[in-house]
Amino acid sequence: MSDDEGAAASAVRKPVIMPDPFHGGVEDEWQDWLNNFEACAKINGWDDQTKCLFLGVRMKGVAQKVYFEMEEATRDEWSVLVTTLASRFKNTKQEEICKSQFVIKRRSDTESLLEFGNSIRRLARKAYPTMDPNVRDELARDQFIRGMNNTRLSVELRKNIPKTLDDTIRIAIEWETIENDALQFSDGGATCRSHPNTTNVISPKDTSQEMLEMMKELTLMLKDRRESGRGQDQRDNSFRGRGRGRAQGDAKCWSCGQTGHLNRECTQKQC
């Protein structure tokens, strides 16, 4: 390290946040790491010289070996340093791989809509890094709709194509939430079962069976009540009829002494 580098290092303030280390492995994405490093550098207020110093200490493993193999002049110039490292670590086949992954990407049963949308966004950025951002966002939006595992929701999104991917994700989340709530509470008290994308979803088969049983019970109750009421009416009518017959036939007129009528009905009564 030169005298200037030592002086610069001693003047550096303690970082607010440190960038993640970069190992230079097959799974490490150089551009993603560099974007994260730049964001941290902005928060910490680093100039280009300070960024060169911290980038060096964040290189690990293979990346660290590559860094120290470079000439000192290259390590001290930020733009040259980044360009050199990009040529070593950027995967030339990365775009083609991401394009394939982007096209076949589908939402899994355990993946939320937000997770699925962000995954589509990342793949689109890696597959089409130089494309106009607005066009790339439209591609991501269309792939998000195609990759849905909910056919009805996918059809509704196609009918009402939102302008951006963010709008599409937001609307999809709202619709799925409403749909799940409707399924869960439309037949309150019905038996529920597990579902990969939501919990406590109503089982139509169980609900229909329960409704049939309830209807059968109500029908039997009404039938018993009608039959009970009909029998009671018949007994009451019979009792009243017998009572009238005995009263009229056994009545005796105290005016003429004959039976079969009452005094007020007597034709032989003398005034």
Does residue 264 sit within a domain? no
Does residue 109 sit within a domain? yes
- The partner residues of 201 in beta bridges, in order of sequence, read 193
Predicted confidence (pLDDT) per residue in 112-171, tens digit: 999 999 999 988 988 888 899 999 999 999 999 999 888 888 888 888 878 999 999 998
Q: Which of 48, 70, 89 is the last residue of a domain?
A: 89
pLDDT for 168: 92
Residues 82 and 110 in one domain: no
- The whole-number average pLDDT for the span 224-245 is 56
Look at 248 and 59; give whichever has higher pLDDT: 59
At residue 232, does pLDDT exceed 70? no
- The whole-number average pLDDT for the span 238-265 is 63
Does residue 194 sit within a domain? no
Does residue 179 sit within a domain? yes
pLDDT for 152: 83
Separation between Cα atoms, residue 29 and residue 126, nearest integer Å: 10
Across the chain, what does the average pLDDT equal?
77
At residue 49, does pLDDT exceed 90? yes
Residues 80 and 131 in one domain: no
At residue 264, does pLDDT exceed 50? yes
> SS3 string of the chain?
CCHHHHHHHHHCCCCCCCCCCECCCCCCCHHHHHHHHHHHHHHHCCCHHHHHHHHHHHECHHHHHHHHHCCHHHHHCHHHHHHHHHHHHCCCCHHHHHHHHHHHCCCCCCCCHHHHHHHHHHHHHHHCCCCCHHHHHHHHHHHHHHCCCCHHHHHHHHHCCCCCHHHHHHHHHHHHHHHHHHHHHCCCCCCEEEECCEEEEECHHHHHHHHHHHHHHHHHHHHHHHHHHHHHHHHHHHHHHHHHHHHHHCCECCCCCCECCCHHHCCCCCC
Residues 99 and 125 in one domain: yes
Does residue 204 sit within a domain? no
For residues 33, 35, 41 and 42, what is the CA-based torsion angle, rounded to 10 degrees?
A: -160
Does residue 141 sit within a domain? yes
Residues 59 and 82 in one domain: yes
Residues 81 and 118 in one domain: no
pLDDT for 166: 94
pLDDT confidence bin for 235, thresholds 50/70/90: low
Range of the domain at 173: 94-185
201 phi and psi, to 5 degrees?
-90, 140
pLDDT for 51: 93
Residues 121 and 53 in one domain: no
- The whole-number average pLDDT for the span 66-93 is 87
Q: Which of 48, 63, 89 is the last residue of a domain?
A: 89
- The whole-number average pLDDT for the span 208-216 is 56
Residues 120 and 140 in one domain: yes
Tokens standing for residue 171? 């609307």
Q: Total structural domains in the chain?
A: 2
For residues 181, 183, 188 and 191, what is the CA-based torsion angle, rounded to 10 degrees?
A: -130
CATH of the domain at 172: 1.10.1200
Does residue 263 sit within a domain? no
pLDDT for 237: 55
